[in-house]
Amino acid sequence: MNNQLQDYNPSGIAEINGNLLGLPFDYDSANLIVFAVPWEVTVSYGAGTANGPQRILDASLQIDLFDFDHPDGWKQGIFMLEIPQDILEKNNYYRQEAAKIIERQAQGKALTDTPDLTPVLTAINQAGEQVNQWLFTQCQTAINQGKQVAVIGGDHSSPLGYFQALATKYENYGILHIDAHADLRDAYEEFEFSHASIMFNAMKIPQISKLVQVAIRDICQDEVDIINNSNERIIAYYEPAIKQKLYSGMTWINLCQEIISHLPENVYISFDVDGLDPKLCPHTGTPVPGGLELEQAYCLFRELVNSGRKIIGFDVCEVGDAEWDGNVGARIVYKLANLLFLSQTKI
């Protein structure tokens, strides 16, 4: 592997070797291990994000390695494990099963009506738990070997097992959450591990001391109540309030610094691409007008690093099954990989 690195030309054409960006690393030689979670069983609007990891992998081969924030960031070693086909196959099966439940609810009928769908719901929740447990075990193994970890979804339910693994290493960490949605619904549509419940489930982890949400613009009253009653454990920066401040003359960089001031020293970034303007990832599961520009998000992350805080992990979720979405998603993954490494090594 070291010999490969000596012969490697970062300005050359990416090799199709199964790894992100065609980089010449394996599990042992990489600092950052990337797990794909092709899971979108409970998606309630547009499907396709289970293919997000493959789209990101394919698109990553077109990205130049020079990064303005950390030109040598790729040298840390980045390795993406093979996309688990067994999870993708289970996803395809349970996705169809979940559609029956979603349709029944849309009709205003009980799951216990004929045919009784409660066993289907139980099976879906168990399958979600198995995916979480698999990811927890994989992440904990990597963390115990001194690796950094990233997750590529799937829908936004994907990283829960990683949150739980980080809680075994850090007594206290915060989540910086980019999203159009608060994802604070309790078992949305009765699915315990719904994409719309990821942050509700995260808040069950006591080691997560702070959740700071940015670009939220599609939210229900129950979620607003959870935020308002969280004793500032959850801080929401709603899109209308963000825009109003910017229109009033506040600079984005000053607002970024304010947002970051709420976070503890160790920060996990959870990036649902529907937090961006939908022109950037139009095929995401639940697109909402408005949102951040890509450089606005990067600026926020830069200010996080500049503040001296450490990025301890990240996920990128809800990338749709389309070439353009994969292109944007791959760039986000690479940017976060470089900023994570920069934050860990910055003095």
Select from 346, 32, 343, 335 the least CA-distant residue to 173.
343
For residue 290, which phi and psi values (nearest 5 degrees)? Answer: 95, -155
Residue 3 has what pLDDT? 59
Query: Tens digits of per-residue pLDDT, 266-277?
Result: 999 999 999 999
Domain contains 17? no
Domain contains 12? no
Residue 281: count other Cβ atoms within 10 Å of its Cβ. Answer: 29
Domain contains 73? yes
Query: Tens digits of per-residue pLDDT, 69-81?
Result: 999 999 999 999 9
Average pLDDT over residues 107-121: 93
How many Å apart are CA 36 and CA 211, to the nearest integer? Answer: 24
Domain contains 2? no
Average pLDDT over residues 12-20: 94
Residue 43 has what pLDDT? 84
Domain contains 244? yes
Domain contains 97? yes
Query: Tens digits of per-residue pLDDT, 324-339?
Result: 999 999 999 999 999 9
How many Å apart are CA 143 and CA 318, to the nearest integer? Answer: 25
Residue 171 has what pLDDT? 97
Q: Report the range of poorest mean pLDDT among 29-33, 101-105, 202-206, 294-298.
A: 101-105
For residue 228, the Cα-to-chain-centroid distance in whole angstroms is 24
Domain that holds residue 321: 22-345
Identify the CATH number of the domain in which residue 98 sits. 3.40.800.10
Select from 53, 143, 8, 110 the least CA-distant residue to 329.
53
Q: Is the predicted pLDDT of residue 2 greater than 60, yes or no?
A: no
- Looking at the structure of the chain, the number of domains it has is 1
Residue 272 CB contacts under 8 Å (≥ 6 apart), including other chains: 156, 177, 178, 179, 180, 181, 183, 284, 317, 318
Residue 6 has what pLDDT? 80
Domain contains 75? yes
Binding residues: 156, 179, 181, 183, 272, 274
- Per-residue confidence at 125, pLDDT binned at 50, 70, 90? very high
Query: Tens digits of per-residue pLDDT, 197-243?
Result: 999 999 999 999 999 999 999 999 999 999 999 999 999 999 999 99
233-240: which pairs have CB atoms within 8 A and are 24 or more residues apart?
233/203, 233/209, 234/184, 234/199, 234/203, 234/210, 235/210, 235/211, 235/262, 236/182, 237/212, 237/213, 239/180, 239/215, 239/290, 239/291
Residue 176 has what pLDDT? 99
What does the mean pLDDT of the chain come to? Answer: 96
Residue 145 has what pLDDT? 98
Binding residues for Mn(2+): 156, 179, 181, 183, 272, 274
Query: Residue 151 in 3-state DSSP?
Result: strand
Query: Tens digits of per-residue pLDDT, 312-327?
Result: 999 999 999 999 999 9
Residue 44 has what pLDDT? 72
Domain contains 8? no
How many Å apart are CA 38 and CA 176, to the nearest integer? Answer: 22
